[in-house]
Structure 1
Amino acid sequence: MDDLWTPAADSSLRDELFGFTTYTLALLFAIIIGILIVRLLTMRFAPTVLRTIIRSEAIKGKTVQDSDKALGTAVGVGLAMVAINLMIEDMERTGSPILMPSIAVSFLPGILQFIVAIALVVWAFRLVNIVQDVVALFDNDDVLDGTEKTLISAVQSTLRFVIIFVGAVFVADSMGFDLTSLIAGLGISGLALALAAKDSISNFFGAITVLLDRPFKVGDWIVVGTAEGEVIEINLRTTLIRTSADTIITMPNANLVNTPVENWGKRRWRRWQTKFHLDINADGDAVASFCERVMDDIKENPKTLKEDSSFCQVSMISATSLDVDLNLYWDVSGGVEERQERAKFIIRLKNIAEDLGIEFYDGRVRQQR
């Protein structure tokens, strides 16, 4: 600070008041005014800059919402901390007009660093909320399912923990704690805690793995070892699976990482194979027409695919019936839609048979005759 204006030795600016020179008090007052001005400018222009950089309207809202005050405080007090440190350094210069009591020299930089750390933690905490909007930005259906909500919760919790940890380190440093001893103590305590809660930690990282790799999502039908059912909820520690018997299996997430998972919900199509028994007295040409019309229905159906691999043809003849094998592939989103499309298809198939005068074989009716 050699370039600062230095008052004369007999100037009233060198008069002392409570251990400060008048010159020092004037600088401190100017710094306070500077903090307010910088804070106001940051609150005014930071949201504008962020809105220019960020294109998503949803993210803009969460990013700048109520975060301008904390950011303005951090920037203003941060610059003040730099100025105070320069003033303290200048006190060592011979003839320096700056004078502060030792208590101010000892505590003032730490207090400012404490305020900066708290302001940054508050600002970062408010920014954590944009995680949901970032996930929604890449979501194709604009609806957050259970898996995505769990991912958001896990990421937000992790970020908050990191923010608190880093903020605590800066706060401890501002209060004069020995960070080397503190970090060493935290390392020992963390090791003991990790050993005591290793299962919970394994489940937590298992949840992170499931949420990032996404081997399944809420609503998928999966098989894990001897457990089979529909995934109804993915939590940070466990995944809930509803079985076909309507019971709930609570599966630790660590097991999902170490055990092969068969996901029926990842199927690109749903194959349906069945057999129809036609009356042995049915006309052969009518049966051939029946198979052709069924295939035409399959090819024209928007809910089927792999027409080249689909078939409807006579496979067996017996003394009482003609057996027709049917193979097709549904292009549906789930079991409910598959059952609905199958019901419609069976009704159309029955109408085709009636139109051609074909009856289905019923062993019970034959026995009564």
Structure 2
Amino acid sequence: MNGLWEPAADSTLRDEFFGFTNFTLLAILGLLVMIFIVRLLTMRFAPTVLRTIIRSEAIKSKTVQDSDKALGTAVGVGLAYFLVTVMIDDMSRVGSPVLMPDLAVSFLPSILQFIVAIAVVVWAFRLVNIVHDVVMMFDSDDQLDGTEKTLISALQSTLRFIIIFVGAVFVADSMGFDLTSLIAGLGISGLALALAAKDSISNFFGAITVLLDRPFKVGDWISVGTAEGEVIEINLRTTLIRTSADTIITMPNANLVNTPVENWGKRRWRRWQTQLHLDINADGDAVNTFCERVLKTIESHPKTLKEDASFCQVSMISATSLDVDINLYWDVSGGVEERQERAKLIIDIKNIAEDLGIEFYDGRVRQQR
């Protein structure tokens, strides 16, 4: 390399200003303009390139539109960092027009490297969201089940952790930390750090246990201690549970390992028990017929099972009512379907009672008689 463009010895470009030659100041100004132009060009053409590679519109949106500014900054400042290092290397050449004070030589590359590291981390952090779209792209029915949601949640948490860790290493390097000494220091103080972070470590291994043993998955309704709700996220440190009141409980993963977890989502069937109060004046034969017809309706219902364990029979008599117990088992996919089928069955039971001339007991009505 013959060096950068070299002005004449008596050129004003070689005049110094606060330790910089005019040539160097113009070069730095040119680098700033170049950063701006390269950033705009990257933001302009990166989407075009990525759209020719990526077919999923959702992935295009998140890889291009949501992160193009960070990518443009990383490319522009990264190129400036390379050129600054070339300029600094050229300073050692005899007759070089490049001149900077020692402070600039020490800090300018570090500042640029720091900006590049932050921009890359921001860009990569935003790309984590494409995990969901990648899984959706390979999903045949376009509907994510609980296992796929759990996989997405785990991958996103893991990628975020890796990005933050690697980004922290690059940021530390840009700030001048000796990574070798830092790692050695971590080895010496590893025990102290482990003791201080024992809860975080327990939560991390709790997440690993949950992902391997799979006591539940995203979308399951679980009970853990006094907490109950739907699992919406499984992260490396915590699991998020949305309650029936629409609040979110942040449950440390270590608690999930050490506390019994009741998973309502793994039920093979849903049991429903209720009691009907028939008017005490109802005809006995009609009541028997009522119980038989209700049981037959339950056994022939397309959404019930365990016919042998289902029943509808008189269980108690009082001065005012005949009590009939009903027990059945729903074979449904979720709570919404269960409520729908239960509503239909209740209407059928009401129609059977009306057909047989049986009235239900109402204490308020009898008190008025």
TM-score (norm 2): 0.61
Q: Is residue 31 of structure 2 the alignment partner of residue 34 of structure 1? A: no
Residue ranges of structure 1 left out of the alignment (5+ in a row): 244-248, 317-323, 360-369
Shift of 1:76: 1.5
- Determine the C-alpha separation between the residues in 1 that align with 2:259 and 2:216: 12
Tell whether the 8 Å contact from 1:219 to 1:230 is kept in structure 2 after alignment.
no
* Amino acid across the alignment from 1:333: G
- Correspondence for 2:332: 331
Question: Greater CA deviation, 61-70 or 32-41?
Answer: 61-70
Aligned to 1:183: 183
2:84 is paired with a residue whose SS is helix
Partner of 2:216: 215
Task: Name 1:16's counterpart in structure 2.
Answer: 14
Which position in structure 2 is the counterpart of 1:341?
Answer: 341
Check the 8 A contact 1:239/1:250 in 2, yes or no: yes
Q: Secondary structure at the match of 1:231?
A: strand
Cα shift at 1:42: 0.9
Q: Deviations over 1:205-236 (max 9, x none)?
A: 435754784615567254x6xx5874367785
Q: In the alignment, is the contact (CA less than 8 A) between 1:23 and 1:97 conserved in 2?
A: no
Pair 1:209–1:76, CA change in 2 (3 A): same
Alpha-carbon distance in 2 for matches of 1:119, 1:168:
12
Q: Does 1:231 align with 2:232?
A: no
Contact 2:298 2:304 in 1 (8 A): no
Q: Distance in 1 between matches of 2:50 and 2:253?
A: 38
Q: For the residues of structure 1 that align with 2:83 and 2:241, how far apart are their CA atoms? A: 57
Query: Structure 1 counterpart of 2:216, which letter?
Result: P
Percent of paired sites with the same residue: 60
After TM superposition, the structure 1 = structure 2 runs for residues 138-153 of structure 1, keeping only pairs within 5 Å, are none
Structure 1 residue identity aligned to 2:178: D
Counterpart residue type for residue 100 of structure 1: L
Structure 1 contact 81–112 (Cα < 8 Å) conserved? yes
Instruction: Give the Cα–Cα distance (whole angstroms) in 1 for the partners of residues 264 and 4 of structure 2.
Output: 78
Decide whether the 8 Å contact of 2:241 with 2:250 is kept in 1.
Answer: yes
Match of 2:318 in 1: none
**Distance verdict in 2 for CA 1:96–1:167, change over 3 Å:** farther
Q: Please show how residues 38-117 of structure 1 align to structure 2 within 5 Å.
A: 38-65=38-65, 67-92=67-92, 97-101=96-100, 103=102, 104-117=104-117
Amino acid at match of 2:110: G
Q: In structure 1, the residue corresponding to 2:176 is in which secondary structure?
A: coil
In the superposition, relative to structure 1, how do residues 305 and 52 fare at CA in structure 2: closer, same or farther (>3 Å)?
Answer: farther
**Range moving further from structure 2, 15-24 or 70-79:** 15-24
After the TM superposition, which of the residue ranges 19-28 and 40-49 deviates more from structure 2?
19-28
How many Å apart are 1:77 and its aligned residue?
1.9
Question: Is the 1:62–1:129 contact (alpha carbons within 8 Å) kept by the matching residues of 2?
Answer: yes
Q: Is the 8 A contact 1:74 1:116 kept in 2?
A: yes
For residues 357 and 27 of structure 1, what CA distance do their matches in structure 2 show?
A: 99
Contact 2:310-2:328 within 8 A present in 1 as well: no
Moved more, 96-105 or 171-180: 96-105
Q: Deviations over 1:56-114 (max 9, x none)?
A: 54554444446333322221221122223234444555x56454246244443323222
Unaligned runs of 5+ in 2: 277-281, 314-324, 360-369
SS in 1 for 2:169: helix
What letter corresponds to residue 73 of structure 1 in structure 2?
Answer: T
Name the counterpart of 2:267: 267
Cα shift at 1:266: 1.7
Relative to the length of structure 1, the TM-score reads 0.61
Q: How does 1:160-175 map to 2 (within 5 A)?
A: 162-175=162-175
SS across alignment from 1:100:
coil
Corresponding residue for 1:196? 196
Aligned residues: CA RMSD:
5.7
* Residue 310 (structure 1) aligns with: 307
Contact 1:24 1:97 in 2 (8 A): no
CA displacement at 1:196 relative to structure 2: 2.5
Q: Which has the larger radius of gyration?
A: 1
Q: Assess if the C-alpha contact under 8 Å between 1:291 and 1:313 holds in 2.
A: no
